[in-house]
């Protein structure tokens, strides 16, 4: 959390153009600046409490939106308390992770899609507005963005309509507005020197920060109990698992991270095709299922993932643990959630603002939680494929 506090202070002191360096995206930096500004008012010694209060506000928002989604799917709203009471979500809050911020806007966008998808072009624009904000928050949004583009293009090609692509108009407007803002930093230099290099560089500041996230964590796992954790645990030779690189080559030619990225892209495109052909539910629910699939697949299969990355996927998992009647799917979902909770507690404890925590779970080797989460994930993924395939033409 201290990094968030520092980033917020840097933006307050230098402005967004001077304090932004990447990692997360501009609106997330501005949120941190807001939190840091409030911290200065109430006293900087209480900055952790301030940040967590703002996180709590977003988590309350996620809870409210989860209730609305359960209602739209005609599911018992009491399942929403799994989010509010489950150890996994309590632990992510205690650690100060900010995934609730972008999750709130993704869920809001999905709800607006349910409400507006049957309207004219404006319906998709309205639904796309919260997604545009999410796109400028955290890198986890990038694969969701890719999946949604593929799915909407498939729809457009199948039904010869392009209105669904209006969903991305707010994202493009907001993205290029921020790009222009960063370019203003070099405006006078460009005007005086007429240097084309400065012009190109200034316009690509934001784009480069997005591209840099692809190479930010070149490790098999950055503390995520996924399929790579047991392998990294073996190869680490007693070092932290994040020291094992993902750029090792297969047969001296292609790196592991490249192969995995291509596999993930293929699986997402394939799932988009299955959902395109699925019957019995409309586009908004297909988007919701696509978000569930993608937000679980990416952290569990891709390299460089961290334990908080499946946050959105686990919230959507609650919805479909309630909706699907398959007992094994529900068991696998619970195994996944409790394994993530056990790993997070074993690796990090409860959090800086809590003391005197029990130590029993922390005696269990983390690799055991990784194996459990892999088993849970494998069946969840299998069932999502099976369900989409059974509903396809």
Burial of 105 (0-12, 13-18, 19+ CB in 10 A): buried
Residues of the chain with pLDDT under 70: 117, 186-199, 251-252, 351-363, 391-393
At residue 42, the pLDDT reads 92
Of 77, 151, 145, 70, the closest CA to residue 105 belongs to: 145
Q: What is the pLDDT of residues 324-373, one digit of tens each?
A: 989 999 999 999 999 999 999 988 887 654 444 445 555 678 999 999 99
Share of the chain above pLDDT 70, in %: 91
Q: DSSP string spanning 206-254?
A: HHHHHHHGGGS--BS-SS--STHHHHHHHHTTTS-GGGSBS-PEETTTE
At residue 286, the pLDDT reads 94
At residue 248, the pLDDT reads 83
Residues 6+ apart with CB under 8 A from 159: none
At residue 356, the pLDDT reads 43
- Nearest 5°: phi and psi at 364? -80, 130
The whole-angstrom separation of Cα 378 and Cα 227 is: 10
Residues 6+ apart with CB under 8 A from 89: 59, 83, 314, 315
pTM of the shown model: 0.91
Length of the chain: 393
SS3 at position 255: strand
């Amino acid at each position: 959390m201290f990094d968030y506090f520092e980033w917020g202070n840097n933006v307050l002191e230098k402005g967004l153009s001077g304090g932004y360096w990447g990692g997360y995206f501009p609106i997330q930096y501005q949120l941190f600046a807001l939190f840091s500004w409030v911290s200065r008012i109430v006293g900087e010694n209480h900055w952790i409490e301030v940040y967590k209060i703002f996180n709590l506000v977003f988590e309350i928002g996620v809870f409210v939106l989860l209730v609305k989604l359960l209602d739209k799917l005609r599911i018992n709203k009491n399942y929403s308390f799994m989010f509010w009471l489950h150890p996994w979500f309590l632990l992510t809050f205690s650690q100060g992770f900010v995934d609730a911020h972008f999750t709130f806007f993704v869920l809001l966008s999905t709800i607006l899609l349910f409400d507006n998808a049957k309207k004219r072009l404006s319906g998709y624009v309205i639904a796309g507005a919260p997604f545009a904000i999410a796109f400028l928050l955290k890198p986890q949004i990038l694969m969701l963005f890719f999946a949604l583009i593929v799915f909407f293009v498939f729809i457009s090609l199948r039904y010869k309509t392009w209105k669904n692509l209006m969903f991305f108009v707010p994202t493009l407007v907001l993205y290029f507005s921020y790009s222009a803002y960063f370019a203003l930093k070099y405006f006078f230099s460009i005007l005086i020197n007429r240097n084309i290099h400065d012009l190109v560089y200034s316009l690509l500041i934001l784009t480069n920060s997005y591209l840099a996230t692809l190479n930010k964590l070149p490790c098999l796992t950055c503390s995520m109990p996924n399929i790579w954790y047991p392998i990294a645990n073996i190869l680490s030779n007693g070092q932290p698992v994040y020291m094992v690189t993902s750029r090792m080559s297969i047969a001296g030619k292609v790196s592991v991270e490249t192969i995995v990225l291509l596999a993930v892209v293929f699986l997402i495109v394939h799932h988009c095709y299955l959902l395109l052909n699925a019957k019995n539910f409309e586009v908004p629910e297909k988007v919701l299922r696509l978000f569930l699939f993608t937000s679980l697949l990416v952290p569990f299969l891709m390299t460089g993932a961290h334990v908080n990355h499946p946050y959105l996927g686990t919230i959507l998992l609650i919805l479909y643990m309630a909706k699907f009647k398959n007992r094994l799917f529900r068991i696998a979902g619970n195994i996944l959630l409790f394994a993530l909770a056990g790993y997070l507690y074993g690796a990090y404890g409860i959090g800086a603002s809590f003391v005197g925590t029990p130590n029993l779970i922390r005696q269990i080797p983390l690799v055991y939680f990784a194996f459990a989460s892999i088993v849970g994930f494998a069946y969840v993924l299998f069932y999502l494929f099976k369900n989409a395939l059974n509903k396809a033409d």
